[in-house]
Amino acid sequence: MIKVLVVEDDEVTAMNLKMSLEKQGYEVVSIADNAVTARNKIKIYNPDIALIDIGLQKTMDGIELAQFIREKNPLPFIYLTAHSDNEMLSKAKKTEPYGYIVKPFDPVNLHTTIQMALYRFKEEKKRNSNINELMSDREELEKLVYAKKLSDKPIVEFGNGYRHDTGLGETFYENQKIKLTKKENAFIRLLVAQLGSVVDFEQAINYVWDTKGATDNSVRTLVWRLRNKLPTDVIKNASGVGYYLEE
Amino acid sequence: MIKVLVVEDDEVTAMNLKMSLEKQGYEVVSIADNAVTARNKIKIYNPDIALIDIGLQKTMDGIELAQFIREKNPLPFIYLTAHSDNEMLSKAKKTEPYGYIVKPFDPVNLHTTIQMALYRFKEEKKRNSNINELMSDREELEKLVYAKKLSDKPIVEFGNGYRHDTGLGETFYENQKIKLTKKENAFIRLLVAQLGSVVDFEQAINYVWDTKGATDNSVRTLVWRLRNKLPTDVIKNASGVGYYLEE
DNA sequence: ACCCAAAAGGGGCATAATCGCGATATTTAC
DNA sequence: GTAAATATCGCGATTATGCCCCTTTTGGGT
């Protein structure tokens, strides 16, 4: 049986609604006379649909209640109204109600509107879950692309048997990866980027070191360590200038 | 001015509607007394909204007209009805009308219903274009993935005795499945996808964690837990860079 | 909605790796 | 030949990592 929550502060209207609904086979789980109560009742009874008097006076009006429902507890809702000024209308339409009934209500109209609202809600839910599926699909793809570090950046060859993958930022000698530290890697990247020309000290310091900077000797030490890790002698020195890679 | 098409075969009702609408500032571009005419009028006048008598007698009834509108010429439409049996109701709700008015209509109700319908239609249109954007986004990613042939190699071997099933997302050591948590699995997937190169911290965070992100320490802890579950030492560290799998 | 167990996050500290710098040897440029 | 530039090393400082523990968050089951 379809569970209906009635939110209406006029007792007479509320009872009329209740009777009319019950006669048509609906179950009125509760009647709330204000928005706060309504929120609680929704949590407790988990109704299938709510009929909301748009002109509730206390604490929060019907429109705010509808916004709460949209955000926190999706549920189809139908507005009940006695009259309607333009301001209220423009607010009400922003909540995209599932139906709208002008008092005094007609029982048949009530039934029809509820049925339509239930149907639309069901369909929208379906559509939303489809959309969510698509979204998570898309995210997975994005991650896959990211994981593979998809890049059309080139692989540069140098020395004799060296390969540097610009995308990965890694260096290989005869297809063997060379394990380097962060700064060593950075320096190699710089040398590769400048393949064919000399990297001077200042350039190296600016590129490899951030903020603090370093001395020329730091660069020399770095080169020394790097040379120890590279099987062959590919890092050449241009005396008085800097370093370069053998092509 | 908002252009309204009235589809109504009872002349008296039609004229009443027209007058009421015009008094409220709408422009009634045409009145059709049957569905076929209505279809043509829609093409000619391109109305903003249609009011459809649900009980049209000739050729095609209002419901079928609504279906035509949904499929061929999107437009918000509101049903008008004098009475409603259950069969008609169940058909009508499947077309998800933008509004529903019981005759005899109340002018204020008419206005309100039209405003709500127009608003909802506009919002739905926006949402749909967002969805379409997402879909085409996704398609492009898919193309990229296929172009780079990323989704190949269902089973990857590494370490010495490790096997990772890309499809299942499961990892085995000597044919023994290793039970891992969600994040552990995600990290392994990333390592496998990057087999042969280093996964840096930033990449790990982006891939394994969603939105919220994580700190480097989270990654380290994750690696630590993972290493506890793997019988041998296959996850290597590249100091200052990240982690990689032993091939 | 509630509870409980598993999973995840993050702090702290010990250990390990990296880095910077100075001292000294070696090479290079002229 | 000599001064400047560079290579080489070792040691202490700095930084990164491993490891463990405790707290918070998740997620499944009733």
User: What pLDDT is stored for residue B107 in this prediction?
Assistant: 85
Q: How many CB atoms lie within 10 A of CB A97?
A: 22
Task: Round to whole Å and give the CA distance between B191 and A226.
Answer: 26
Query: Is B246 touching A (CB cutoff 8 A)?
Result: no
d(CA B208, nearest CA chain A) in Å: 9
Query: Is A209 touching B (CB cutoff 8 A)?
Result: no
Q: Which of B83, B99, B141 shows the shortest C-beta gap to A141?
A: B141
In a domain, B143, yes or no: no
In a domain, B134, yes or no: no
Chain B CB contacts of A96 below 8 Å: 116, 119-120, 123
d(CA A89, nearest CA chain B) in Å: 7
**Which CATH number belongs to the domain containing residue A171 in this structure?**
1.10.10.10
B197 touches strand C (CB under 7 A): no
In this complex, the residue with its CA at the shortest distance from the C1' of nucleotide C7 is B181
**For range A45-71, the mean pLDDT:** 78
Range from A63-72, B155-164, B219-228 carrying the lowest mean pLDDT: A63-72
Range from A101-105, B129-133, B156-160 carrying the lowest mean pLDDT: A101-105
Please list, in sequence order, all residues whose beta carbon lies within 8 angstroms of the beta carbon of residue B138, skipping any fewer than 6 positions away. Answer: A134, A137, A138, A141
**For range B223-246, the mean pLDDT:** 92
Q: How many CB atoms lie within 10 A of CB B46?
A: 12
Q: Give yes or no: residues A114 and A236 share one domain.
A: no
Write down the pTM of the prediction.
0.68
- A54, A126, A133, A143: which to substitute to probe chain B, counting the most B Cβ within 10 Å? A143
Task: Round to whole Å and give the CA distance between A11 and A17.
Answer: 10
User: What pLDDT is stored for residue B42 in this prediction?
Assistant: 92
Q: Which of residues 66-85 of B touch A (CB under 8 A)?
A: 81, 83-84
Chain B CB contacts of A95 below 8 Å: none
**Exposure of B104 by Cβ count < 10 A (0-12 exposed, 13-18 middle, 19+ buried)?**
exposed
> What is the number of structural domains in chain B?
2
pLDDT at A59 over 60: no
Domain finish residue from A81, A113, A142:
A142
Please list, in sequence order, all residues whose beta carbon lies within 8 angstroms of the beta carbon of residue B27, skipping any fewer than 6 positions away. Answer: B1, B2, B3, B4
The predicted-structure confidence for A33-53, as pLDDT tens digits, reads as follows 888 888 888 878 888 999 998
User: What pLDDT is stored for residue A199 in this prediction?
Assistant: 92
Higher pLDDT, A137 or B80: B80
Domain finish residue from A86, A113, A142:
A142
CB A108 within 8 Å of CB B150: no
Partners of B200 in the β-ladder: B242
**Which CATH number belongs to the domain containing residue B16 in this structure?**
3.40.50.2300
Please identify which residue in the block is written with the tokens 């379906």. Answer: A126
Q: Give yes or no: residues A48 and A119 share one domain.
A: yes
In a domain, A184, yes or no: yes
Query: Is B148 touching A (CB cutoff 8 A)?
Result: yes
User: What pLDDT is stored for residue B126 in this prediction?
Assistant: 92
Q: Give yes or no: residues B42 and B117 share one domain.
A: yes
Sheet (strand A235-238) strand order? A199-200, A242-245, A235-238
- B110, B114, B148, B187: which to substitute to probe chain A, counting the most A Cβ within 10 Å? B148
B214 touches strand C (CB under 7 A): yes
Task: Round to whole Å and give the CA distance between A177 and B84.
Answer: 77
Q: Give yes or no: residues B28 and B110 share one domain.
A: yes
pLDDT at B58 over 60: no
Helix B86-94 to helix B62-72 angle (10° resolution) is: 10
Chain B CB contacts of A134 below 8 Å: 131, 134-135, 138
Q: Give yes or no: residues B33 and B81 share one domain.
A: yes
**For range A71-86, the mean pLDDT:** 80
Q: What protein residues sit with their CB closer than 7 Å to strand D?
A: A 201, 216-217, 220-221, 223-224, 227, 237-242; B 182, 201, 216-217, 220-221, 223-224, 227, 237-242
CB A117 within 8 Å of CB A98: yes
In a domain, A148, yes or no: no
Task: Round to whole Å and give the CA distance between A175 and A163.
Answer: 8
pLDDT confidence bin for A167, thresholds 50/70/90:
confident
pLDDT at A19 over 90: yes
Task: Round to whole Å and give the CA distance between A183 and A164.
Answer: 15
Query: Is A128 touching B (CB cutoff 8 A)?
Result: no
Structural domain boundaries enclosing A39: 3-142
User: What pLDDT is stored for residue A148 in this prediction?
Assistant: 66
Closest-approach residue (CA) in chain B for A184: B240
Q: Give yes or no: residues A127 and A161 share one domain.
A: no
Range from A18-22, A60-64, B69-73 carrying the lowest mean pLDDT: A60-64
Range from A51-60, B32-41, B229-238 carrying the lowest mean pLDDT: A51-60
The size of the A-B interface in CB pairs under 8 A is 122
User: What pLDDT is stored for residue B154 in this prediction?
Assistant: 79
Task: Round to whole Å and give the CA distance between A210 and A82.
Answer: 70
For the range A206-215, what are the long-range contacts, defined as Cβ-Cβ under 8 Å and sequence gap of 24 or more?
A: A208/A183, A209/A183
Query: Is B198 touching A (CB cutoff 8 A)?
Result: yes
pLDDT confidence bin for B57, thresholds 50/70/90:
low
Please list, in sequence order, all residues whose beta carbon lies within 8 angstroms of the beta carbon of residue A241, skipping any fewer than 6 positions away. Answer: A198, A200
pLDDT at B212 over 80: no
